[in-house]
Amino acid sequence: MARLLIVDDEPHICEALQDRLQAEGYDVITAHDGQTAFALFVLESQRSPITGVILDMELPIVHGIEVLRRLRNQRSDVPILMISAGHDRQMFDQAMRSGANACLAKPFESKELIQVCDKLFRCLTAIPVPPDLSPKSQ
């Protein structure tokens, strides 16, 4: 199961995203500011790896782009979806240059969110076939 960290300073946004993604089978934890998000990412990764992050750009304490950079320094392999209510193309470009895998402008349709999340996060959680069960080549 994909384990996601959702970071948004608006609790109702976190709750709505959490409810929708849990209904799709994702395991979700949330944070409401950048500093807490990074600390939670490090702490939770020691228990059970976080396999994806949905990160708002406009966050209190530590801006979303800075959180993105810190997450990339910590683990470069985790897919990160940036979200923002602002439609500033330069900010989206900066997020992509800083290591985001995708960006969505709020408000977005639930269907669009699920499509992007499935593309970014589901492919990483496939269960590998143990070598002793793999088809043998002859």
Percent of the chain with pLDDT over 90: 75
Phi-psi region of 75 (alpha: psi -120 to 50; beta: other; left: phi over 0): beta
Which pLDDT does position 123 carry in this prediction?
65
The answer to whether residue 132 scores a pLDDT higher than 50 is no
Comparing C-alpha atoms, which of 94, 93, 51 is closest to residue 71? 51
The answer to whether residue 14 scores a pLDDT higher than 80 is yes
Percent of the chain with pLDDT over 70: 88
Which pair of tokens denotes residue 112? 């669009």
Give the model confidence (pLDDT) of 38-93 as tens digits. Answer: 999 999 888 888 999 999 999 989 999 999 999 999 999 999 999 998 777 898 99
- Cα 128–chain centre separation: 22
Which pLDDT does position 95 carry in this prediction?
94
Which pLDDT does position 125 carry in this prediction?
44
Q: Which residues contact 96 (CB under 8 A, 6 or more apart)?
A: 103
Which pair of tokens denotes residue 119? 């593309």
The model's pTM is 0.86
Domains in the chain, CATH or no CATH each: 3-124 (3.40.50.2300)
Q: Are 117 and 52 in contact (CB under 8 A)?
A: yes
Residue range 99-108: average pLDDT? 94
